[in-house]
Amino acid sequence: MGLVRRDQPSAEQETTAPSADTLLRQLDDPDPDRRREAALGLDGVAEAVPALLDRVAGESAKTVRDAMLTTLAAHDTDQVAEALAVHLASDDADLRTSVAETLATMPGSVPAIVPRLLEDPDHDVRVMTAMVLADLPHPGSLTWLTDMIRDDPHPNVVTAAIDALLPSLGPEHHELLREAVGRFPDDPFLRFTVEAAVG
């Protein structure tokens, strides 16, 4: 997704900043630049969270969606994490990826929903969860990834978890990866991923 840099306002802009109500109305402006400005301007405004969550999936402009996600990520609450996680199952690939990147920046609330995501019946959701764990700054991330490699029944999920683990891969993981190949002997991509990782 690429979280959005907030421009520093000038002193004049600070004194004439629009109200939260004005910015909320501006989220429906036909001009995407105005919507992006509103999304960033609502940073720290708790009452704006429901409106932003309601608009994320339907927002057509990527720059605006990214601004909304940037503002939402700063809240890092259970409400935001739960609502965003729903989009890991979206048919919109860009939305799925952007949400995964956003959740990875929310170590306060996301760990509580990871166990449920790891049990999701949709293997694509579990693949996206591996992407979240790849960057989630939480001490449990590596354990969750190794559990996925050892236990998940779908080869695509196991491969995604191996990819996510690669930056932290050590000799202690080699046997785990070889066992994964043994569980899916007919999956050439998983085998290739392991062979490239283990050497």
Q: What is the pLDDT along the chain (199 residues), one digit of tens a residue?
A: 566 666 665 554 555 778 999 999 999 999 999 999 999 999 999 999 999 999 999 999 999 999 999 999 999 999 999 999 999 999 999 999 999 999 999 999 999 999 999 999 999 999 999 999 999 999 999 999 999 999 999 999 999 999 999 999 999 999 999 999 999 999 999 999 999 988 7
Q: What tokens does 52 get?
A: 């932003």
96-119: b (≥16 Cβ within 10 Å) or e: bebbbbbbbbbeebbbebbeebbe
196 lies in some domain: yes
Number of structural domains in the chain: 1
Domain that holds residue 134: 109-199
- d(C-alpha 126, C-alpha 156), whole Å: 9
- d(C-alpha 108, C-alpha 158), whole Å: 26
32 lies in some domain: no
Query: What is this structure's pTM?
Result: 0.88
Element (H, E) at 33: helix 32-41
126 lies in some domain: yes
CB 42 within 8 Å of CB 68 = no
- Sign of the Cα torsion 144, 150, 151, 156 reads positive
